[in-house]
Amino acid sequence: MSNPYVNAPIRARMYANTWHKVIWIAVVVLSAGLLAPPLFFIAAKKRVVSMIVPAIYAAVIYGSAILGSVLGNPKNWVGGVLVISVIVAAVHAAILDADWKAGR
45 domain-assigned: yes
13 domain-assigned: no
pLDDT of residue 7: 57
1 domain-assigned: no
71 domain-assigned: yes
CB atoms within 10 A of CB 32: 15
pLDDT of residue 11: 63
102 domain-assigned: no
Q: Which domain holds residue 41?
A: 18-94
Residue 1 has pLDDT above 70, yes or no: no
5 domain-assigned: no
Buried b vs exposed e over 74-100: b needs ≥16 C-beta within 10 Å?
Answer: eeeebeebbeebbeebbebbeebbeee
81 domain-assigned: yes
pLDDT of residue 67: 87
Per the structure, how many domains does the chain have?
1
H-type alpha helices, the chain: 18-30, 36-45, 52-71, 77-94
Segment 46-88, tens digit of pLDDT: 888 889 999 999 999 999 888 888 888 778 888 888 889 999 9
Residue 104 has pLDDT above 60, yes or no: no
